Structure 1
Amino acid sequence: MAEEIEWWEFDSAEEFIDGVVGDVTFIIESALDARGQALVAFPGGNTPKPILEKLAQAPLRWKGVTIIPTDE
């Protein structure tokens, strides 16, 4: 059975960033609620910088979050 693909369109880069941050925040919160900890991997470089800067401001229980940097 084929999976259905979801397509999202954004009117601006800022709207895209907000959408990604909202989704990642939800995923981290879900992991924290379920297990008391979350493990996430984020790419390095300059491309994700605006997303990571905004995500860093999210009111999460960061002490329960482990971040692993990736390369690609």
Structure 2
Amino acid sequence: MKQVSIRTEYIKLDQFLKLADCIPTGGMAKAILQEGLVRVNKEPEERRGRKLYPGDIVEVDGEGTFEVVAE
């Protein structure tokens, strides 16, 4: 599991996917979310604006599992 650190209280899912190098641009988040390729804390997630906090686990099919950690 890869750890991705954030400097703020939370990060939106689309921004997180870009920060974790799962997608090259934030605009691509909509496509992979609609395809059902992303789970947050083991639950399927389709909302780009979903707020992620330290301790949340994000799974992306074909990319791996990531943990949100505070910097």
Bigger relative contact order (CA 8 A; separation at least 6): 2
- Specify the structure having the higher radius of gyration (Cα): 1
TM-score (norm 2): 0.23
- The answer to which structure has the higher strand fraction is 2
- The answer to which structure has the higher helix fraction is 1
